[in-house]
Structure 1
Amino acid sequence: MLGERLANRMRHLSKWGRKQDISCFRLYERDVPEYPAIVDWYADEHAADPTREGDAIVWLFTRKKDDTLEKAVEHRRDAEAEILAGLDITRERMHVKHRGRQSSGDGDRAQYERVDTRANTKIVREHGLRFEVNLSDYLDVGLFLDHRPTRKSVQDRAGGKRVLNLFAYTGAFSVHARAGGAAATTTVDMSRTYLEWYERNLALNGHVIDADHRLIQADCLQWLAAGPKDDTDRYDTIICDPPTFSNSKRMKAGSFSIDRDHPGLIRDLARFTAPKGEVFFSTNSRSFEMSPDAVPGNFGCREISNRSVPEDFRNKRIHRCWRLAEGWERRR
């Protein structure tokens, strides 16, 4: 059942991927209730046959809360066998991930912590651009597939603009902005590891860091709170995809909750927005509700989630995304 579903999805999405010039996509997302799993596919950019020369990233979830340990193990083995058969791959090309609750309570930070050291990397394509993914060492591989449409939108409108990418991770939004002809980019993240990864992504696409295209290692919340230094710190496009919750010891504020703290965050973003500038603000919080007081009076706000989640994602609530713009009519 699961194997057949994966084979059918692969036939469809491989054709779709070639048309979109992408080599990584979501194959399966709890489609069959009997198999609660997520399967993402990453094919190398030069794969002669992307349907056979790729790797599967797999998340397996508990089928029934009252399953015994023996039944859970049996079901897991069955699911893994179905995936291997359906995709016709060896076990070495199936990477099963486990997301456990961290003792720190920092659920989002866990995705960035190293869990292996094999450095199983490959280069994938997204709309003609090249990105490094690491299939083995972290819970997430370095490219959030659900933000693909928003990255393309940023690229398409970046020409001649100043772009700020916050909580930048491996900098994919900045790479798209550079490809779209951005006049300047500023890329901010707390992790040196991921900023170095961003530099490698830039190099893969023929770009380097220079005076107009900066990277900054900083706590984004603290950096925003300090305010813009001058007009060069005001941006035509801002991308902000903050963690749902964080209590990293490196954060000056101690803890951050997007549900609780987004009004202050959005007010800080507004200070960095140029006249007639725009902000793409997104969150993965399932309980998030935009506060009526969060959006400054001179900004409009429209939810664009119906356009920001890609076709290959069955879960259309994987994230929510808003476009805020200075000078727009106020509308939510």
Structure 2
Amino acid sequence: MFDPSKLQMLENRLVKVFRHLRKTARRQNITCFRVYDDDIPEFPFSIELYEDHIYVAEYHRAHGMEEEAHEEWLDLCLEVIAKVLEVPLEKVFVKQRQRKASRQEQYEKLSFESHEMIVQEAGLNFKVNLSDYLDTGLFLDHRITRGMVREQSAGKKILNLFCYTGSFSVYAAAGGAAEVTSVDLSKTYLAWAEENMRINNFDVSKHKFVHADVLQYLDTLPAETFDLVVLDPPTFSNSKRMKEFLDIQRDHVVILNKVLAATKPGGVIYFSNNYRRFALEADRILASDIKDITAQTIPFDFQQKLIRKCYRIVR
């Protein structure tokens, strides 16, 4: 059974981390950031602030509570979270998630409340949905990587694979890219990517939005076409719409070599993934240079918490 006195542990932790993170966020002019991620085993949450709203994801675990007791516990936790983060309860959104969601699950609507809002990051606008999907539409952990892409995009042809809602594409367009090609298997997310481009006043007719299975799409690409490629695939994907299932550890060499073939000499690939035990088989990748840039791309609100890897690969 849950001991209500333990709520004080959650409150103390949130007070401590929020004070520190809020200062850093203000200094960096950041309004969307992660506050807490499974810091205390009894409170298995990820908590993110999206301007004046809170997004809470509860990780699935065997808690031993009856459904009613669990709901009561969750309500008490949300009250503490809202109080410390100074956000009214009606602006707190909660989701329950499995530890390993496949890309297919990520696509499926969980709800139809459709609480959408526009948030800002680095002077750019992004639509987020706090109620309907497993993820909000903006992965906060790639804030720095997006900035790197923006800085290197001027006049270039950019390819964004597994583009999701196109945040990298928006940054590339903001950096003056000549053309951005965004590819995803989900029509929902592709339309969202296009909408993100529009709300930043970019001319979508200059850019391409391709509905395709990335693994098959790679075989259609002409050689030496792109200056910069963003490759942020799921760890596993077994979508019914894919011809074969994806396992990033098993498949990354083949995928990267196909992407490299479509990249101009000297062109750059930013490759990342969330597989905890991922090991890059660098000796099999046909690149002139490979750098692990994971440490440089971890934002202040993900320190010690981030499991993803990130590499800068040069053709």
Task: Confirm or deny a common fold (TM above 0.5).
Answer: yes
1:216 to 210, 219, 222: 210
Aligned to 2:3: none
Q: Is the 8 A contact 2:59 2:97 kept in 1?
A: no
1:38 aligns with 2:38: no
Which structure: greater helix fraction? Answer: 2
1:193 to 172, 175, 188: 188
* Residues 172-251 of structure 1 mapped to structure 2, 5 A cutoff: 172-210=167-205, 212-228=206-222, 234-251=225-242
TM-score normalised according to structure 1 size: 0.85
Q: Is the 8 A contact 1:169 1:195 kept in 2?
A: yes
Distance 2:304 2:113 in 1: 31
Q: How far 1:215 sits from its partner (Å)?
A: 1.2
Q: Which runs of 4+ in 1 moved over 4 A?
A: 70-75
Q: How far 1:19 sits from its partner (Å)?
A: 3.2
* Residues 12-51 of structure 1 mapped to structure 2, 5 A cutoff: 12-43=20-51
Distance 1:197 1:66 in 2: 36
Q: Is the 8 A contact 2:36 2:45 kept in 1?
A: yes
TM-score normalised according to structure 2 size: 0.89
Aligned to 1:50: none
1:138 to 133, 136, 142: 133
Distance 1:11 1:236 in 2: 41
Aligned to 1:309: 298
Distance 1:114 1:179 in 2: 30
Q: Is the 8 A contact 1:167 1:241 kept in 2?
A: yes
- Structure 1 counterpart SS, 2:48: strand
Task: Give the residue type in structure 2 aligned to 1:320.
Answer: K
Task: Give the residue type in structure 2 aligned to 1:220.
Answer: V
Distance 1:8 1:130 in 2: 30
Task: Give the residue type in structure 1 aligned to 2:78.
Answer: E
- Structure 2 counterpart SS, 1:173: helix
Distance 1:314 1:127 in 2: 20
Aligned to 1:76: 74
Distance 2:136 2:35 in 1: 16
- Structure 2 counterpart SS, 1:80: helix
* Residues 272-283 of structure 1 mapped to structure 2, 5 A cutoff: 272-283=262-273
Distance 1:146 1:118 in 2: 26
Q: How far 1:202 sits from its partner (Å)?
A: 0.8
Q: Is the 8 A contact 1:149 1:309 kept in 2?
A: yes
Segments of 5+ residues of structure 2 without an aligned counterpart are: 1-8
Q: Is the 8 A contact 2:102 2:238 kept in 1?
A: no
Aligned to 1:94: 92
- Structure 1 counterpart SS, 2:39: coil
TM-aligned CA distance change 1:304 to 1:293, over 3 Å:
same
Task: Give the residue type in structure 2 aligned to 1:223.
Answer: Y
CA-to-aligned-CA distance 1:12-63 (integer Å, 9 cap, x gap): 33343333332210011123344232100001xxxxxxxxxx1111122367
- Structure 2 counterpart SS, 1:98: strand
| RMSD, matched Cα | 2.2
Aligned to 1:329: none
* Residues 285-300 of structure 1 mapped to structure 2, 5 A cutoff: 285-296=275-286, 298-300=287-289
Q: How far 1:77 sits from its partner (Å)?
A: 4.1
Q: How far 1:5 sits from its partner (Å)?
A: 3.2
How many residues align? The count is 306
- Structure 2 counterpart SS, 1:143: coil
Identical residues among aligned pairs (%): 42
